[in-house]
Structure 1
């Protein structure tokens, strides 16, 4: 058994966790015992962060204090803004810009000399990083648009403040609630690639900034966090083609297209987060009077199930298939979708790092050697 190879560590148990539970056959996602449906409907993202980090839902007084602590940490140093300007000048991808800026944040960490095994200090670092990521993303996008950076406000929630910094205008309740729900849905999802990366880094007793920076790097790949952008790019291409969406998809599949936003390493049925986001996408379309993005996505989903039998092949929409339509209707650029995923998932990264370090053991798997074992040395002039 010890020598059995598990490519991608598929099916291998490497840790125990009480943060989130996934039932891939039933399409069920739970954060610390609470279903994702209940949390999306009733909890704010800040409540979800508190739940993930502290193990229980906060009281009103605890939530008020937590929200105030988060809001007070939103400002970023002027040097970070200067770095973002340099990255805009270099035409850096937003996800890479986020990775670089988060790494630089450690230079201004007031507890930079804290022992990584001091979990209270690590939690405070994680809270600061989580509070500042929206400021980084909004500043970067405004700078590349040639607009002034909007300073964060402490009287708005985490989601609403990001939209305010992004647009320069306070969002309406529908936009703020929708974006808050999207953050909740993406906050944690077991030992996915980016969460595991963060844990591996933390297991060496590296600091929280290193762990989160590594998580961002892992999330940037198209096989993990990049699919939401791929989905929306496909829908835009379908709409701009002028062709019937179903015919376009049919032709694309015949040409070998792998439809983004379909299938999942864990779920064998429709992702419960996709169910919620589908409904929210429809609501946004109805509110604005522009339902085409929801309609195209929904029609494609039904076609792939009814005509291509995707569900019988174990393929169903994952969270990415509808998240893009929600972000697009909120006016968010396509290349910010994955950074926004990171803005949310940092809550899970921090939670898993803290949980793992309660009983830390260096993560060090083995690889099976398949190379030569007895080559004879040849002097360089004789090769």
Structure 2
């Protein structure tokens, strides 16, 4: 028996949803570069992940309509967000609790037939952007803005944040970020979701568990720490000196390296270009310039390339998203992948129950408490 720490290079299941092979990410066989260059919409990609094919015009119109019909959240959820804000909770804890609460008020929450599971998926996917935008406004002392029925998911999210129509460039950047984060094979949060529903637990439990896993700084929380690093460099000095100091102190540099990719994360270059355009348009080119300097220094010192978290931080900053909400934006995209994997797990389920090699003491005899030293 051998142990693979962190399940590295251990294959635990087959999937038809996404693949990472030779440093290429594909969604159901479509390369991420092709989807980016073709300007695929987030709605198309969700449909692709759930149905394992791209929608035709009729399919897409029906699917988009179902999403829009379910985007609004109840006043009970809004009240809950207000109460959680006053408790000064971590925003990811708020999202985790709110998603769990959606299940409490869903009359189909415990129904496990395929159609009911799919309908719950639609409701979860649709409401996530509304929840994140509402919480962002509540924290600023503003009333939530309801979604519109004439906007894409990317445009609707940005509208619900500000009450104003986003520019074409902003919507393009938001859409690309959502597509790039949609799925990534058996990452930690996706695997968590599959482990949860493999017990035949419900969809809301699976997504709630996944949010808990995504919260960690070694997973979804990394992009928040990237922007903290960029702002620290902006205030205190040059990127090269900053990175050298990090390396000398054996500190982790967030946004670089990846467990799976050897030659670099293919998603990073697309976000890099959007970061350049957005920061220039916003009049804050230094955020891109510092990021590029950090990338150069890390490559020189460590031969590591940026991952998806690195430039997504500058993109979200330029879109005026609060820094501690970056991981929530990640979640409202990745829920599409979580749900696709939950559907797949239900279709061909087997309880996920690995083993461990015991290395503790053995052959011990029980001693009554009165006789113990």
TM-score strictly above 0.5: yes
- Superposed, 1:1-383 pairs within 5 Å as 3-23=1-21, 26-41=22-37, 42-115=39-112, 118-241=113-236, 243-305=237-299, 307-308=300-301, 310-311=302-303, 315-383=304-372
Q: CA deviation at 1:113?
A: 3.8
Cα distance, 1:153 vs. partner? 1.3
Structure 2: unaligned runs, 5 residues or longer: none
Q: 1:380 to 1:350 in 2, by over 3 A?
A: same
Work out whether residues 194 and 345 of structure 2, in 8 Å CA contact, stay in contact via their aligned partners in 1. Answer: yes
> What is the SS of the residue equivalent to 2:356?
coil
Q: SS at 2:76's partner residue? A: helix
Contact 1:268 1:316 in 2 (8 A): no
Contact 2:109–2:204 under 8 Å retained in 1: no
SS at match of 1:99: helix
The whole-number CA distance in structure 2 between the counterparts of 1:349 and 1:95 is 16
CA deviation map 1:312-338 (0-9, x unaligned): xxx211101100000001111110111
SS at match of 1:81: helix
**Deviation sequence 1:186-220 (CA, Å, 0-9, x none):** 00000000000000011000010000000000000
Kept in 1, the 8 Å contact 2:193–2:342? The answer is yes
Contact 2:239/2:297 (8 A) holds in 1: no
Q: Alpha carbons of 1:180 and 1:173: their partners in 2 closer, same or farther (altered >3 Å)?
A: same
Unaligned runs of 5+ in 1: none
Aligned-residue Cα RMSD (Å) equals: 1.3
Distance 2:358 2:238 in 1: 52
Q: TM-score, normalised by structure 2?
A: 0.97
* Cα contact 2:279–2:314 (8 A) shared by 1: no
Q: How far, CA to CA, are the matches of 1:320 and 1:128 in structure 2?
A: 27
In structure 1, C-alpha distance between the alignment counterparts of 2:159 and 2:241, rounded to whole Å: 40
Deviations 1:263-282 (A, max 9, x none): 10001112111011011111
Show structure 1 runs of 4+ deviating over 3 A: none
